[in-house]
Amino acid sequence: MKLANPFWFLALLSLVFWSPPASAERVRDLGSFETSRSNQLTGYGIVVGLDGTGDDNFAYLTQAMRGVSGRLGLQLPPGVNPALKNAAAVIITADLPAYAKRGQRIDVTVSTMGKAKSLRGGALILTPLYGADGQIYAMAQGNLAVGGLGVSGADGSKLTVNVPTVGRISDGASVEREVGNDFAASPILNWNLHRADFLTASRVRDAINAKFSGVAQVVDGVTLALRLPPGADQRADLIAAIDMIEVAPAESSAKIIVNSRTGTVVISSAVRLAPAAISHGSLVVRIDENPAIVQPEPFSDGETALEPSSSISVGQGMGSIGLMEGGASLAEVVDALNQLGASPADLVAILEALKQAGSLTAEMVIL
């Protein structure tokens, strides 16, 4: 076949991602133990010290400020509704790492919940962070680092860079309560794959049992049950050794991901084709507008006018037929579509047609 467009191959490379062949990976990169999970914390607080970019009479903010003032011994008179443009009501979120101990520090993210325009320059007042069980697990306080910027002019013009209504405090919370776990006492510890796959789970089991006989047993496509000797010290040594065992994970399933908004097409290396012939052509419709100016007759009451003039032409591009042999690999699929000169939109249409014809055995995911 004649190469339709020699430069299309370079463009296609930017749209199609080659998945490298499966190679050995460490057990710690394929999954994690149940006891190593983190927990989400949330809290509601007040950021003060803003330069007029706060909420201003936001009802929740006013109520919260009364509570803060009360804790500090300052009682606002009844009926007084303070205008607080230098303060903002915020939601604080954080992740409590596994095995976190009292006194350790964790990062927090602070986001506005009212009409505050920016948190730049603000400081978070001492705020409790709660877990899903309603218990306090950390206390947050500190100065915010805001990456965004928002400015406005007197005429109403505005300029916003990134998101100035979200800030972060590095080491902004101290852990006050530990999350209990049965790491040392439970007779069985569950290890979970990041992605469910029975073949990968069985390979991890075999690799662990080859080094530590009878330790691992598959529960399902995600979980392995590990029988470990009691005692935190012995288990730590054994788990450290298990984490470093190398396993070749199963090849990912055949998938084609299409992002219709950006025109991105991703084809996994597991995609294969049955024998198929593809014909690809293009129809080009061109409309040219050439308006003409028409002048009235001399000494008449007419006016100069614009007379529309359109020309329409239709052209059929040279089509071509490409033959794909059975069991074609990803490289052969890309090469054949390259020779057809397919555009990103055409590539999606061709792949969908191949799947409908039964020649493409892959899952199509349209984003």
- CATH classification at residue 220: 3.30.1370
Find all residues with CB under 8 Å of 274, minimum gap 6, and list them.
326, 327, 358, 359, 360, 361
Tell me, yes or no, whether 228 and 268 share the same domain.
no
Strands 105-112 and 246-247: unpaired
Is 2 a member of any domain?
no
| The predicted structure's pLDDT at residue 318 | 53
Is residue 243 located within the same domain as residue 258?
Answer: no
Examine the domain organization and report whether 107 and 160 are in the same domain. yes
**Residue 231's domain spans which residues?**
183-247
Pairing of strands 305-307, 105-112: unpaired
Domain boundary among 205, 224, 247: 247
Chain CA centroid to CA 21, Å: 24
Instruction: Determine the angle formed by the axes of helices 330-340 and 8-15, rounding to 10 degrees.
Output: 130
* Residues 171 and 203 both lie in one domain: no
Three-state SS letters, 269-336: CCCCECCEEEEECCEEEEEEECCEEECCCCCCCCCCEEECCEEEEEEECCCEEEEECCCECHHHHHHH
Kindly state whether residue 155 falls inside one of the protein's structural domains: yes
Q: How many CA atoms lie within 13 A of 155 on its CB side?
A: 2
**Which of 205, 226, 247 represents a domain boundary (last residue)?**
247
Q: Is 12 within a domain?
A: yes
- pLDDT at position 6 is 37
Q: Is the same domain home to 139 and 200?
A: no
Q: Are residues 111 and 164 in the same domain?
A: yes
Cα 127 from Cα 140, distance rounded (Å): 5
Letter for the amino acid at 230? P
pLDDT of the residue at 87:
84
Instruction: Read off φ and ψ for residue 30, nearest 5 degrees.
Output: -95, -20
Encode the chain (367 residues) as per-residue pLDDT tens digits. 333 443 333 333 333 433 444 568 899 899 988 888 889 999 988 888 888 887 776 666 666 666 665 566 556 666 655 556 788 889 999 999 988 999 999 999 999 888 888 888 899 988 899 999 999 999 999 999 887 655 655 555 566 666 788 999 999 999 999 888 778 778 888 899 998 889 999 999 999 999 998 899 999 989 999 998 888 888 888 889 999 999 988 877 788 887 767 767 777 777 777 766 666 555 444 545 567 777 777 777 777 777 766 555 545 455 555 555 555 565 666 666 666 566 666 777 777 777 777 777 777 777 7
Provide φ and ψ at 86, rounded to 5°: -100, 15
Look at residue 236 and give its three-state secondary structure: helix
What pTM was computed for the model?
0.62
DSSP 101-150: -TT-EEEEEEEE-SS----TT-EEEEEEEE-TTS-EEEEEEEE-B---EE
Indicate whether 221 and 119 sit together in one domain: no
- Whether 276 and 230 share a structural domain: no
pLDDT number for residue 7: 38
Q: Is residue 25 part of a domain?
A: no
Residues 213 and 263 in one domain: no
Structure tokens at 73: 């011994």
| Residue 128 falls inside a structural domain | yes
**Chosen domain end from 175, 199, 215:** 175
The residue whose two tokens read 């947050």 is 140
Q: Would residue 1 count as lying in a domain?
A: no
Q: Is residue 122 part of a domain?
A: yes
The residue written with tokens 């298990």 in the block is 242
| Confidence at residue 86, expressed as pLDDT on a 0 to 100 scale | 81
Same domain, 271 and 361: yes
Number of compact structural domains in the chain: 3
Shared domain check, 170 and 190? no
* 27 occurs within a structural domain: no
* Whether residue 351 is found in the same domain as residue 226: no
